[in-house]
Amino acid sequence: MRVRVEQTALPGIGVRHDLVTTSGRRLGVVTHRNGRRDLVLYDPDDPDSCTADIPLTDDEAEALADILGASLMLGQLSGLRQQAAGLLTEQVSIPAGSRYVGRRLGDTQTRTRTGASIVAVLREREVIASPDPTFRFEAGDVVVVVGTRQGLDGVTAILAETDPDG
C-alpha cells in the first residue's frame, strides 16, 4: 500500500510530486507557486520527459481527486467485508423457474423475513446499485446480498421458490 512519492523543488516555479506505478509508468503533479497545477504523464520510452502536461482548474482537480478517492473507498469497503466478523456478501442468481421472475423486489420481503439486504443487481454486465422495492426481477438476474450466513441462506431459499402457478 505504501507508495514512494518523490518531491522535487522547481526553483522559481513551484514543486513537483511524482511516483512510479506498479505497471511501470511514471506520473506526477506540478504545483505552481501561483496555485496552478498540472497533471503530467511521462513517456514510457523516455522516463525523463513528459508526454502530457495537463493543466487542471481547482474544480477539475477536486473532481479528479473525488473520483480517485471514491474508487479507493469502494476497494476499502470490500476489504472491510472480510474483516467484519459474521457479515458476508454473496451473489445469488434468480433461477428461470423462480416465482419472483417478473415480480417486484418488494414482494420478496427478504429484509423483513431474513434481515439480509439486497444491495445491487447485476443484469447483463450492468450493475443496478441499491434497487428500490419497485424494481422488477428478470430471469438470469444476479442479486448481491449482504447479511449473516443464515440471512443469506434465507434469501437464496426465497429466490429459489418456484412459481406455484407455473
CA distance 40 to 26: 9
Query: According to CB under 8 A, which one of 3, 5, 12, 140 is a site residue for other proteins?
Result: 12
The single residue listed with the C-alpha cell 510530486 is: 17
Minimum Å gap between C-beta 7 and other proteins is 11
51-90 residues in contact with other proteins (CB under 8 A) are 52-53
Query: Smaller CB distance to other proteins: residue 5 or 127?
Result: 5
CA distance 110 to 6: 51
The residues facing 28 across adjacent strands are 18, 40
Query: Smaller CB distance to other proteins: residue 27 or 160?
Result: 27
Query: According to CB under 8 A, which one of 1, 4, 11, 83 is a site residue for other proteins?
Result: 11
- Under rule CB under 8 A, residue 25 binds other proteins: no
- Under rule CB under 8 A, residue 34 binds other proteins: yes
> 8: Cβ–Cβ under 8 A, 6 or more apart, which residues?
15, 16, 17, 18
Query: Smaller CB distance to other proteins: residue 46 or 124?
Result: 46
